[in-house]
Amino acid sequence: MTGAGVSAESGVPTFRGNDGLWSKFDPTELASMNAFMRNPKLVWEWYLYRRDVIGKAEPNMGHETLAKMEQHLSAFTLVTQNVDNLHRRAGSRNVIELHGNIQRNKCRQCGSPMDQVEIDPDNIPRCSCGGQIRPDVVWFGELLPEEALITAIKVAEQSALFLSIGTSALVYPAADLPLIAKNNGAYLVEINPEPTALTPYADEVFRGKSGEILPIIWQTATEEASSAEASLQTDEA
C-alpha cells in the first residue's frame, strides 16, 4: 500500500509534515463536501492547481519498481491512497485506488462520471441532474469506493507480505489495512524516512526514500532468487 510519500520524489507534495500541503492549506477548507458547498470556486482552484503539478510530474524509481514487481510476482496487488495516477503511468495495472483519482470529475449530486467537461472555477459546470461537477476524489467524512475497499481488505487478509510505503498511516480506513494484514499472519514492512503510527507494529522498517529503498529491495530479492535457482540446478545435476 502506498501513500503520498511515494510521489514526493516526483515533486508532488505530501499532505502532512513541514513541506506538506496541509502546512499551507487548511484541509477543512478544501477537502470536504462542506468546504465545496461553502466555496466551490476555491476548492476547484486548488484542485486545478494540483492537477497542473501532477500533470507535469513523472513517475520515479519507486513507482517503476512497484510496476516491475507486479510483472514478476504471481500475486501482487497495489493499493494506493494516492489520487495522482502515477502508478498507472509507471506501468502498474492491478491498482486499487482508495481515494479516487484527481484527473477524473463526477457529479456532486448523482455521482455520474463527467470527465469530458472543461472546468471553469468561476462558472462550475453542472450535470443534467443539476448537480455541480466536482473532482472524483474521496473527501473527509465520505465513504471510500465500496468495491475498492472490499477488495483491498480481502487482499490484506490474504497477503503474506504487506509493504506500507510512504504513508503516515493516519487516515482511516486505509490505515487499518496493514494491521488487518498483520493480524492475518502477514509479515509487515514499512518504508518511510520518518517514523509513523504504524512503526511500532512493523516486523521490519526501512528508513529512507521509497525511490531509493524499493530498487535495492527488488535487486536483492531477484539476486537471491536467481542464486537459489542456480544452486537448485547444481544440486539436481
Query: 157: burial class by Cβ within 10 Å (0-12, 13-18, 19+)?
Result: middle
CA distance 63 to 84: 12
Span from 8-16, 69-77, 123-131, 178-186 in contact with ligand BJW (CB under 6 A): 8-16
Coil, helix or strand at residue 153: helix
Q: Which stretch binds ligand BJW (CB under 6 A): 121-129, 150-158, 171-179, 225-233?
A: 171-179
Please state the φ and ψ torsions of residue 189, each to the nearest 5 degrees.
-120, 135
Q: How far is the CB of 117 from Zn ion (least distance, A)?
A: 12
Element (H, E) at 233: helix 210-236
Residue closer to Zn ion (CB basis): 127 or 177: 127
| Contact stretch for Zn ion (CB under 5 A) within 12-20, 126-134, 193-201, 205-213 | 126-134
User: Which of positions 89-108 make contact with Zn ion (CB under 5 A)?
Assistant: 107
User: Binding of ligand BJW at residue 65 (CB under 6 A)?
Assistant: no
CB of 128 to Zn ion, least distance (A): 7
99 is catalytic: yes
Non-local CB neighbours of 90 within 8 Å, separated by 6+ positions: 59, 63, 64, 66, 67
Residue nearest to ligand BJW (CB): 5
237 burial via Cβ count (<10 Å: 0-12, 13-18, 19+): exposed
DSSP notation for 35-90: HHHH-HHHHHHHHHHHHHHHHH----HHHHHHHHHHHH-SS--EEE---S-HHHHH
Q: In 113-225, at which residue ranges do the beta strands (DSSP E only) sit?
A: 133-137, 161-165, 187-191, 204-206
Pair type for strands 100-107 and 133-137? antiparallel
State which of residues 15, 36, 44, 162 lies at the interface with ligand BJW (CB under 6 A): 15
The answer to whether residue 4 forms part of the interface with ligand BJW (CB under 6 A) is yes
Interatomic CA distance for residues 14 and 78, integer angstroms: 19
Residue 121 partner contact from Zn ion, ligand BJW, none using kind-dependent CB cut-offs of 5 to 8 Å: none
| 11 vs 130 by CB, closer to ligand BJW | 11
**Could you say which of 40, 131, 145, 193 contacts Zn ion (CB under 5 A)?**
131
Does the footprint of Zn ion cover residue 109 (CB under 5 A)?
yes
Question: What are the residues binding ligand BJW (CB under 6 A)?
Answer: 3-5, 8-9, 14-17, 20, 31, 81, 83, 99, 137-138, 140-143, 166-168, 170-173, 192-194, 196, 209-210
Question: What are the residues binding Zn ion (CB under 5 A)?
Answer: 107, 109-110, 112, 127, 129, 131
* Residues with catalytic roles: 99
